[in-house]
Amino acid sequence: MFDTLSDRLATTFKNLRGKGRLSPQDIDDTLRAIRQALLEADVSLQAVRPFIAAVRERAEGAEVSKALNPAQQIIKIVNEELVAILGGETRRLRFAKNPPTVIMLAGLQGAGKTTLAGKLARWLKSEGHTPILVAADLQRPNAVTQLQVVGERAGVPVFAPEPGNGVGNPVKVAKDSIDFAKTKLHDVVIVDTAGRLGIDAELMKQAADIRDAVSPDEVLFVVDAMIGQDAVITAQAFMDGVGFDGVVLTKLDGDARGGAALSVRQVTGKPVMFASSGEKLEDFDVFHPERMAGRILDMGDMMTLIEKAEQAFDQAESEKMALKLARNEFTLEDFLNQMEQLKKLGSMKKLLGMLPGVGEIKQQLNEIDDKDVDRIAAIIKSMTPGERDDVKIINGSRRQRIARGSGTTVQEVNNLIDRFLEAKKMMQQMAKGGMPGMPGLPGAGGLGGTKRKSAKAKAADKASKSKGRSRSGNPAKAKAEEAARQARKDGTGPGEDAPGQFELPAEFKNLLPPQ
């Protein structure tokens, strides 16, 4: 979503690099480019003005003028002000002292409230809570059925006493859900309310009545991040008509310009608390302003990547795999298990997008197909247990059978086996503490690394030293060399480094001390 904004800002900062000192004109040009980039990203003018003013004030101060690298200092300022405009610190949910905690969702129809309710419930369940979903949207066709399906996928029960489709009292349903949650010992109640295609008085009154009936601990405004500056108008209307405590941004994986994320917090004063970036229930994260700012400036989001890895990978299993690598026992079966754990992290494209500097390889990133992982899994699963343990037994006929069983080609099977063997070899080198061809590392050869001599080479060196220097092929010269060596041994002749062997030029003899 932030690709356009990221590209524009990256180009702006690139023009600053290499300048030892920034002139007032440089600062003006940079701020003008940043302002244009933000406006083109559909950020509200109400948010752009204070942002540019804050960056200008700091850019024209001693913070930049006395810096060793002014360009980096400008980037640092922009990053910090982006964090501020996005909310500063991460805002966490407030839980009631006496359960259940009531969370009410509000927003326009089509913003993704029902799916978001399931995502939030699933996330709360993973955090150790026992949530329940409440079907208080009784007007939209099949809204109750949709919530029940979403709840089943999330593994969370749904309180739906009314069929919906225009039948039932949503205020009574919401109120009765509190007593139901207390009886069934649910500590969190998530109320999914009705939306409209536009802002109207009936929508606001119904939402306000539900709020008054259940006294929610948190009212979350769900907004579609793709509607641009309209998100600010809608948020302001809900703020005035119902009031809310935090914002949830949905559809952050879309191709819109992302201005809503930078506008809502600045205009309403309410923090963005959660972000949804896909259709799957696991595509849901706590909103961290500093991490989002890092993504916008192509600095990556390593913390989120690490957190996802910690959730997906089993520590004991990882240690077991490391031990098998060290023993050269890693097989295709283990490789398949690792791939299945990797799939739990989500889309490979999204994961790689969290790495710093990926803005420079967006074209290659867009070419990544997550279905490649499924094809590899299909090939491995088409092998027998013996073939997975030892790929060297897979001959031509076996490869044809595997290709037919996995719906792939023999070439794809060959590529997988070749890549697996290369990866296995590289992992073995890494397990030993070095990489092939890298200088100065244990186990590394060539390119400046110190080569270890074999036992045979060491023996040859020892024999050579014991025999002394090789003799000349000229008999007369060889006899003279032998006589000189014997004289040195007897002490009757000068050593190899004795001054008598050298004749100083006449101009240097005057520098010697008198005899």
Position of tokens 């040859």?
460
107 among annotated binding-site residues: yes
393-400: which pairs have CB atoms within 8 A and are 24 or more residues apart? none
CA 129 to chain centre: 27
252 among annotated binding-site residues: yes
Q: What is the DSSP letter of 252?
A: T
440 among annotated binding-site residues: no
DSSP 256-320: S--HHHHHHHHHH-PPEEEEE-SSSTT-EEE--HHHHHHHHTT---HHHHHHHHHHHS-HHHHHH
Query: Which residues contact residue 384 at a Cβ distance below 8 angstroms, ignoring those fewer than 6 apart?
Result: none
- Per-state percent for the chain, helix, strand, coil, to nearest 5: 55, 10, 35
Closest CA to 383 of 408, 346, 357, 349: 408
112 among annotated binding-site residues: yes
Closest CA to 177 of 192, 193, 163, 189: 189
208 among annotated binding-site residues: no
In the chain, the amino acid numbered 483 is A
192 among annotated binding-site residues: yes
Beta bridge partners of 275: 249, 285
115 among annotated binding-site residues: no
Residue 380 and residue 336: Cα distance in Å, rounded?
7
250 among annotated binding-site residues: yes
Position of tokens 């690490």?
306
Residue 376 and residue 332: Cα distance in Å, rounded?
10
Strands 284-286 and 272-276: antiparallel
Q: How many residues are recorded in the chain?
A: 515
Cis bond upstream, residue 289 (ω within 30): no
CA 482 to chain centre: 73
423 among annotated binding-site residues: no
**Structure token pair of residue 334:** 């283990």
Beta bridge partners of 284: 276
List the Cα angle 136/139/142 in 5-degree steps: 90
Beta bridge partners of 135: 192
12 among annotated binding-site residues: no
Residue 504 and residue 13: Cα distance in Å, rounded?
65
**Structure token pair of residue 231:** 């998100």
196 among annotated binding-site residues: yes
109 among annotated binding-site residues: yes
CA dihedral 298, 302, 307, 313 (to 10 degrees): 110
Residue 316 and residue 302: Cα distance in Å, rounded?
23
294 among annotated binding-site residues: no
Contact 416, 379 (CB under 8 A): yes
Binding residue numbers for GTP = 107-114, 192-196, 250-253
Binding residue numbers = 107-114, 192-196, 250-253
